[in-house]
Amino acid sequence: MSPQCFQTITVGSRGSDLALWQTHWVIARLQQARPDIEFRIQRITTRGDVVRDRALSQVGGKGLFVKEIEAALLAGEIDLAVHSLKDMPTEQPEGLTISAVTAREDPRDVLVSRLGLKLAKLPQGARVGTSSLRRAAQLRASRPDLQIVDLRGNVDTRLRKATTEEYDAVVLAAAGVIRLRYSDRITEYLSPKVMLPAAGQGALCVEVRTDDEATRTLISIVHDPLTDAAVMAERVFLTRMGGGCQVPIAAYGIVNADELWLRGLVASPDGSRLLRHELRGSWTEPVVLGQALAEEMLAQGADEICRER
């Protein structure tokens, strides 16, 4: 089949405002190139959407927001799926592949404070909301006095909770806040020196069936090679470090000219041990760089942190 054979494409998406925004964003770019194709969205509820009374790390971690969508894709109920790349496990089910990675939005984390104060100025013992082990560990490393309070829900819910006395501040991904046009709520963009992002944060990916060449050709329109190189290095690093183990792991790659700068972090959940390292290499060899950074950090003691957990 060639792309010219398409009449209707069914796109799988979670039903949250952010997920739908991201899906519409991808569809708009595909539609510009192929106005002859009709795109329809099929909303799919994932386990991560249903279980909201426990921290993500207690429910199952990676894959919570994608498994049901992937099942629909494998069953042929949808033709492609749009995901936040940071939600994706480092390995896809047999028969599926990430065939496009979009240009990245701001990958940093942000602080939203009802007090209007930056992280360093929050009062002693301030209550900061997050459901992320990665964010919690780095917050504790920076401010051991803070009380980290679990926070679940979509962007709207978390921003609403940030205005209540239950929290003095919350930490979210900048990308979601920006995409939903809540930038005016941001108190501080957290530097990667303080809060290294999750692997893939800020990027979207499009997942398709591996044998569907027509759809793979179609979605190449939204693929960004430089973002792909950066997040591939991050995800290779995550895989080698044991992306499924329940310890805080972060990775952030930046392509500048011909160089890829990759930073990695592994921490104990309480933030008492925090190991950082970085390497630079060719952006055309992201797999080599991701593996090399992981090996150096493992040699420096990252494996001990993982074993402790």
Identify the bridge partners of residue 275 per DSSP, sorted by sequence position. 266
Residues 6+ apart with CB under 8 A from 154: 16, 17, 18
Q: Which segments within 102-241 are labelled E, that is strand?
A: 109-113, 127-129, 147-149, 169-173, 188-190, 204-209
Identify the bridge partners of residue 252 per DSSP, sorted by sequence position. 263
Identify the bridge partners of residue 81 per DSSP, sorted by sequence position. 12, 207
How large is the angle between the packed helices 225-241 and 286-297, nearest 10 degrees?
A: 30
- The Cα–Cα gap between 302 and 242 comes to 10
- The yes-or-no answer on residue 150 being catalytic is no
Helix %, strand %, coil % of the chain (to 5): 40, 25, 40
- The Cα–Cα gap between 199 and 214 comes to 29
Asked whether 216 and 233 are in contact (CB, 8 A), the reply is no
Please tell me which residue in 79, 87, 168, 228 is annotated as part of the active site: 87
Closest C-alpha to 228, from 91, 104, 92, 90: 104
- The Cα–Cα gap between 298 and 106 comes to 29
Residues designated catalytic: 87
